[in-house]
Amino acid sequence: MEIFQSFGLDIKLLIANLINFVLLVAILYKLGYKPILGFVRERQEKIEKGLKDAEAATEKLSDATAQKEKITSDAHREAQDILNKAKDQAKVQADDIIKKTNSEAANIVEHAKKEISQQKEQSIADVRTQASEAVILATEKILKKKIDEKQDKEIIENSIKEL
């Protein structure tokens, strides 16, 4: 104790200050350190949860991107298949139309040939009929006027001119 007094320290005062310091530390620990420590722990948990959520969101985004690309690829493939089918159907229809058109054209040509042949035969028959009528007329005229050969030729030429 004398040592304390030689340095000019009062023991009562030192004990009182020590008690005050312990009380201050206890109060600060209760009122300040525990709430701050709790706040720091809470904040740390939120940050960790945020990082986990960000990783999960990144994973979901990656999965969604892969799924989007798969869907896009499937849609593109399906569209290409539809386009190819449409082209094939168009080609088949075009071939059918060409076949029908060629068939109709052949029928028209054949019909026209038959009609021309019939008209030709009709014309030949008409010419024969007219020629035979002319010959009959000429023969009648010749028989009516059978005078001489000179008159006979004149009658034939006149009959031909009349035709």
d(CA 99, CA 106): 10
Q: What pLDDT does residue 84 have?
A: 96
Question: Does residue 52 register a pLDDT over 90?
Answer: yes
**pLDDT exceeds 90 at position 6:** no
Q: Mean pLDDT score of the chain, rounded to an integer? A: 86
pLDDT of residue 4: 63
34, 36, 37, 38 alpha-carbon torsion, rounded to 10°: 80
Residue 23 to residue 16: CA distance in whole angstroms: 10
In the predicted model, is pLDDT for residue 2 greater than 90?
no
Name the residue with higher pLDDT: 64 or 3: 64
Domain coordinates in residue numbering, the chain:
2-134
The predicted pLDDT at position 41 comes to 93
* 95 residue type, one letter: D
Q: Greatest CA separation found in the chain?
A: 201
